[in-house]
A and B are shown apart, each in its own frame.
Chain A
Amino acid sequence: AQTVTQSQPEMSVQEAETVTLSCTYDTSENNYYLFWYKQPPSRQMILVIRQEAYKQQNATENRFSVNFQKAAKSFSLKISDSQLGDTAMYFCAFARPTTGTASKLTFGTGTRLQVTL
C-alpha cells in the first residue's frame, strides 16, 4: 500500500513571496504519478500540478513548480509570487497507472496555506 505524508499542517507566506510545501511518500512501485491538489474554501478539488515518476524533469505550471526526488521519495511544491487567491488547503496525492481498471488517489493529510498582505 502507498502512503503519503505531509508534515506541515499549516504554513503562512506573505504576498509576492515564495513558499515550499513538503510531501514524502512510500511505495514499492517504480512507475506512478504524483499530484498537488488545491482545495479553497469552496471545497472544490482543483488539480494544480502532476508529475510522472518516469520523467526526471520537474513539472512546472506557471507560478507552481515541483521538486521531485525519486530516490528520496520526496515531492515538494514551490509557489512563486504568492497571491491571496493561493490561500487554500493543499493536498499531495499518489496514483498508479492502470490498464482496464480504475486508479484511486491516495492523499496526504494536507497543508493549510495562508497568504497574507
Chain B
Amino acid sequence: AAGVIQSPRHLIKEKRETATLKCYPIPRHDTVYWYQQGPGQDPQFLISFYEKMQSDKGSIPDRFSAQQFSDYHSELNMSSLELGDSALYFCASSIEGGGSYNEQFFGPGTRLTVL
C-alpha cells in the first residue's frame, strides 16, 4: 500500500539559510499535518491543511510557512534557520473525519540539521 512520502529524508543547512520540506500524502487523502520533533522530545503540531486550505496552526514560528497544492502535496518552507530548528519533521495525512476521526498516517520524517 502507498505510504506518505517525504523528501528529502535528510537535510543539512547553515544558520540563516532556507529549507523546503516536501510531503506527498497517501492518494485520496485530503488532509495534511506537519509535526516537529526535537531531540528527546514529543512531536509538536505545527500546521495542518484540509482541502488545500489551512485548517489549524500550532507552535509554528513566523519564519516558517506552508501550503497545500492542488495535487494535495504540501511544502513546509523554513527561512532564517536557527540551530534550534534542528529536528525531525513529520508529515502525516488522513481523510477528513466526517464527524469522527480517521487515522493519521505518518511519513518517515525529514531530519533537518542546522549547523
Contact = CB atoms under 8 A, between A and B. Distances in A.
Contacts of B21: none
Which of A97, A99, A105 counts the most B-chain CB atoms under 10 A from its CB? A105
Contacts of A43: 37, 88, 108-109
Interface residues of A, number: 24
A33 B33 contact: no
Contacts, number: 68
Interface in A36-95: 43-45, 47, 50, 52, 91, 95
Contacts of A98: 96-97, 99, 101
B64 interface: no
Interface of A: 33, 43-45, 47, 50, 52, 91, 95-110
| 8 shortest interchain CB distances as A-B pairs | A102-B48, A102-B55, A45-B106, A107-B42, A98-B97, A104-B45, A33-B101, A102-B31
